Amino acid sequence: MAGNNEDGQLGSGTFISSRVLKRVSLESKVISVDTSGDYGIKITGVATEKGEVNIWGDIGNILKGASLTNLPWKLNLPGKAVKFVGTKFQKSYAIIMEDGSIYVKRYVGEEIINTRLDSGRKIVDAILSNESFHIDKKAYVSYLYVLDNHGDVYFFYTDARVPLVEKHKVKVNFPDRIKQLSGGNLGVALSVKGEVYTWGKNDQSQLGIQNDQSAEFEFITGEVYKVNLPISIESISGGYKNVAVVTKNGTVYAWGAGRNNNIIGGREINKLANSVSNLFRKSKDKTLFLTSRLIGLGIFPFPIELEITSKITYISLGDTLSIAATEDGMVNYWGSYKWNPEKPY
């Protein structure tokens, strides 16, 4: 791991930040990793092949007085875990268990929620949420989206005044079955046909909607946006206010917030903005003018292809750093000049 380490989130045994990748010492092979906390930069968590979960960073009061740890801390779980799910707000996280249930740790009130689906249905993926909304003038708050082993997605929410006392579940109908969920300050779903759907806020064009900063799709009403992509998608990664997708050919497209050079570098941003601006001068299309202004600010209102020479097998966008693994076994990371390595690709 690399980057900011003021809360011990690199798991290196120190609180010294690093531009160089640091290895985290764990007892068994990692099968799932995610980050959590404000903007996803406070906590790191992993699930291992032994079914254990280790977390480190600003992990709250489970340390009996101390809130920070710079080394992995093993959680006491009632069974085997298969996935750790982080979030991009507060210090919440979730753990998907081998039996198909999910434990949700909410920072507010230190609540722990155990959620299950009907018999025969197991939870295989999830997104944590904390959005307020109203139904018939009554206030509610969302806390969880889950994907089951049949490709169906469910949305959970509670009464805002008495959270967790009255839980509600809604099945959301997508055009196709879903195989992966991801998200930070938005939701992203990948269908079995390789289509990508987004919902939530769009203040940084994180939905992938070109030239429309006001758009917002409410998951509770079943409104989702299908992202226009030129090729079938294999996997998705939803950041705080950005998204990256890996195609079946191993190329990567990304959109949303990229002002920290976490999508493309400053020179590439200026080059792309100037290119779109030149198109505006020729066509006088006002939408192109808005697009060039957004790109100049580091906001990408439509998917752009990243120039990484090797075939990508995994990517994750952060608020300040992004990381990608390639089929040749290399790890590439880039982003904020403060934490950027000397050679970002």
pLDDT at 344: 41
- CA-nearest of 33, 47, 44, 51 to 71 is 44
Round to whole Å and give the CA distance between 253 and 190.
14
- CA-nearest of 271, 242, 272 to 255 is 242
In the 8-state DSSP scheme, what is residue 114? E
pLDDT at 113: 75
Cα 231 to Cα 150, 174, 303, 341, distances in angstroms: 24, 19, 12, 31
Tens digits of per-residue pLDDT, 307-344?
888 899 999 887 788 889 999 988 888 887 776 665 44
Structure tokens at 166: 């009255």
Q: Is 280 helix (H, G, I), strand (E, B) or coil?
A: helix
Contacts of 285 (CB under 8 A, 6+ apart): 279
Count the Cβ atoms, other than its own, within 10 Å of residue 214.
7
Strands (E), 11-80: 30-36, 43-48, 53-63, 66-74
pLDDT at 79: 93
pLDDT at 55: 94
Task: Please tell me whether the overall predicted TM-score, pTM, comes out greater than 0.85 for this model.
Answer: yes
Residue with tokens 């934490």: 339
pLDDT at 255: 93
Alpha helices in 111-234 (DSSP H): none
Burial group, residue 306, by CB count within 10 angstroms (0-12, 13-18, 19+): buried
Tens digits of per-residue pLDDT, 274-291?
887 777 677 777 677 677
Structure tokens at 289: 């003018």
- Give the pLDDT of the chain (345 residues) as one tens digit per residue: 888 899 999 999 999 988 888 899 999 999 999 988 776 678 899 999 999 999 999 887 665 556 889 999 999 998 999 999 988 767 788 999 999 999 988 765 556 678 888 888 999 999 987 777 777 788 877 778 999 999 999 988 887 776 666 678 888 889 999 999 998 778 899 999 999 999 888 888 889 886 455 556 655 556 788 999 999 999 999 988 899 999 999 999 999 988 888 888 777 878 787 887 777 677 777 677 677 778 888 888 889 999 888 899 999 887 788 889 999 988 888 887 776 665 443
Quick one: how far is CA 256 from the chain centroid? 12
Structure tokens at 39: 């903007």
Cα 122 to Cα 158, 191, 193, distances in angstroms: 21, 18, 21
Cα 91 to Cα 44, 107, 145, 236, 277, distances in angstroms: 10, 5, 17, 23, 41
